[in-house]
Amino acid sequence: MAAGRVAWERWSERFRVDLLRWAAACRARLVQAKGQGTTEYAILVGVLVVIAILAITVFRPKLQELWDAIASGINGL
């Protein structure tokens, strides 16, 4: 079970790094272009939203664990 978790963590970290590199490359390409319009910015925002959704999906168990810890801490007051 621990080996699977380690493999999953490695995969998710590589996936996150690849997404960040891709987003940076897209952002750099958009910055180089002259006369950017609303369409380019809308595409960039759309890509960032997709990346955020993917990150939340990938890290959902950790986020749930953090949320539960915060909730139990508040309930313990």
Could you read off the pLDDT of 38-76 as tens digits, one per residue?
888 889 999 999 999 999 889 998 888 998 999 998 988
Cα 41–Cα 44–Cα 45 angle in degrees, nearest 5: 85
Q: Rounded to two decimals, what is the model's pTM? A: 0.41
Average the pLDDT over 25-36 and give the result: 74
> For residue 19, how many other CB atoms are within 10 A of its CB?
16
Question: What one-letter code names the amino acid at 33?
Answer: A
For residue 1, pLDDT beyond 60: no
For residue 35, pLDDT beyond 70: no
d(C-alpha 58, C-alpha 15), whole Å: 9
Give residues with Cβ within 8 angstroms of 30, minimum separation 6. 36, 40, 44
For residue 15, pLDDT beyond 80: yes
Domain count, the chain: 1
Q: Which domain holds residue 63?
A: 2-75
Contact of 44 with 30, CB cutoff 8 Å:
yes
Banded pLDDT at 17 (limits 50, 70, 90): confident
